[in-house]
């Protein structure tokens, strides 16, 4: 009887970071990222019912020191909120409460999340010229910002576990 039930194990969807780089500019150091992922059916269903989704990107830059622990030079986060308005039938994104945009389709809104605008992670005087910095970046669905009933559901449901692994690369400011 159990063999015929058709229950398959659920796997958590993953976010892949397809591009990550740092560019020096007049305002400071900007992080440029590109992600590759799709929302699973459970997340799309929750979104269409009015539950906002929060995608948080975390960045850490450390500099090696021979005499002590590595120095954390930069630690920054940015959250993108994705929501759906049932009355207007539009998707809305808000980047850390600053940039807000509306989109007619989920695919258009996801394009902004997959390829967010570059953002300043450090001032010009934060990093020392010539030193090598280890940069770590990851993105995840931030379940801590969901409404409380959904936080409990997210702990028990693999549909709500969406994240990337930490990727690391080296950056040397000139």
pLDDT of 144 reads 83
Structure tokens of 25? 């500019």
For 69, the token pair is 């622990």
For the record, the structure tokens of 20 come out as: 């990550």
Residue 88: how many CB atoms within 10 A of its CB?
10
In this predicted structure, what is the pLDDT of residue 96?
Answer: 81
Task: Please say whether the beta carbons of 73 and 63 come within 8 A.
Answer: yes
Q: What is the pLDDT of residues 112-140, one digit of tens each?
A: 999 999 999 999 888 888 889 999 999 99
Q: Are 20 and 169 in contact (CB under 8 A)?
A: yes
Question: 126 with 61: CB under 8 angstroms?
Answer: no
Pull the structure tokens for residue 49.
């019912």
Q: What distance in Å separates the CA atoms of residue 169 and residue 35, rounded to the nearest whole number? A: 16
Q: Residue 92: left (phi > 0), alpha (psi -120 to 50), or beta?
A: beta
Q: Are 139 and 130 in contact (CB under 8 A)?
A: no
Residue 77 has pLDDT above 80, yes or no: yes
Give the model confidence (pLDDT) of 11-67 as tens digits.
444 899 999 999 998 999 999 999 999 999 988 998 998 899 999 999 999 988 777
Give pLDDT, residue 5. 31
Q: Across all residues in the chain, what is the average pLDDT? A: 85
């Amino acid at each position: 009887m159990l063999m015929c039930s058709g229950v398959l194990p659920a796997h958590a969807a993953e976010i892949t970071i397809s591009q990550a780089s740092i560019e020096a500019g007049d305002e400071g150091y900007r992080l440029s990222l590109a992600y590759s992922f799709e929302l699973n059916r459970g997340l799309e269903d929750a979104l269409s019912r009015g539950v906002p989704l929060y995608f948080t990107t975390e960045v850490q830059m450390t500099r090696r020191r021979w005499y002590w622990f590595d120095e954390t030079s930069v630690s920054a986060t940015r959250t993108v909120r994705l929501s759906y308005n049932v009355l207007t039938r539009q998707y809305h994104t808000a980047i850390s409460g600053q940039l807000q945009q509306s989109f007619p389709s989920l695919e258009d809104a996801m394009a902004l999340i997959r390829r967010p605008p570059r953002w300043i992670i450090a001032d010009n005087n934060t990093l020392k010229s010539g030193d090598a910095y280890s940069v770590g970046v990851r993105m995840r669905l931030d379940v801590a910002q969901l409404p409380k009933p959904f936080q409990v559901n997210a702990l028990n449901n693999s549909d709500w576990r969406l994240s990337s692994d930490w990727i690391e690369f080296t950056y040397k400011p000139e």
